[in-house]
Structure 1
């Protein structure tokens, strides 16, 4: 595995790595891929939310009164980069159902590999929330950079980027443009090929999740 960039946290938990290996297999079905992505999203969410603030509140258990920790501070927004980000979004919402959701619609121009925006919708109070940007693949990072640019224009100031797989080139590109946005990934693979796909990767996450080509 390539040397990890200081801006990246790689989740090497055995369950994450086991599920990722199954997802990489060519023969894994669409239904299995979709379910595994949802499960891994929950595990990635644990790491992405590790530093959320807590406060002690007074409660009563069936035995006695006590002070116990509950979430405080900024509320969460999950920002899904369409369409593949929806696979991570489902698992994240399973864990944090009260989170708000933003959507950034982008497609990659097949000739230039540049990101082209076609849709954007986000909560009004982005500056008061922690935003976790979701896209399974950090390949060239052009889509991630465009999405984060757009979210910052909407007022977001506190962000993380969560993906399933990253390339070293994508990590360098995203970190160069947005060094203030930490990256959480299940793996950093070897490189990009001439078509902008992660190698060895797992193919196109959106196609595998939705059964399209």
Structure 2
């Protein structure tokens, strides 16, 4: 049975965590990327779809390629970060369901339904992108998730060999530089955006 996390862990993942626009020179390695993935893949997706496809840009050349697809301010953030990741979503994820969800013929649910697959890939891939942020923070990393890029350019640069995979969003990773963050934006109280039915 799950136990509540202590206050320090909740601060690390949520309350004190911030979106960073810049990072220190601390290195981010392939082992770090693997550790984050090994956590995020455990988060739930519908029928264990696992539709996200991640491209980890760990060298300067790959970050330059990604930066060339981004808006001016985001391009600079990507170039200066120790790592970046492209969070893609496979719109033919259903081809993997026979082994990912062997309990029933879940692949048949999506055969012949490209719009349904697109929606499901977006929904569940976005969940996995959020799990990436939480996993990275839990392992002591800071994250700068962003849009502000040309999706067609990102797809051409990173998924040309996988035409069913489309970018969802991108993020930078590293040890955050506190001078790079804005003041925290407002967070609404429960009653403002919630109701109990």
- Verify same fold: TM over 0.5: no
Query: Which has the larger share of helix?
Result: 2
Higher relative contact order (CA 8 A, sep 6+): 2
Query: Which has the larger share of strand?
Result: 1
Q: If the length of structure 1 is used for normalisation, what is the TM-score? A: 0.27
Q: If the length of structure 2 is used for normalisation, what is the TM-score? A: 0.28
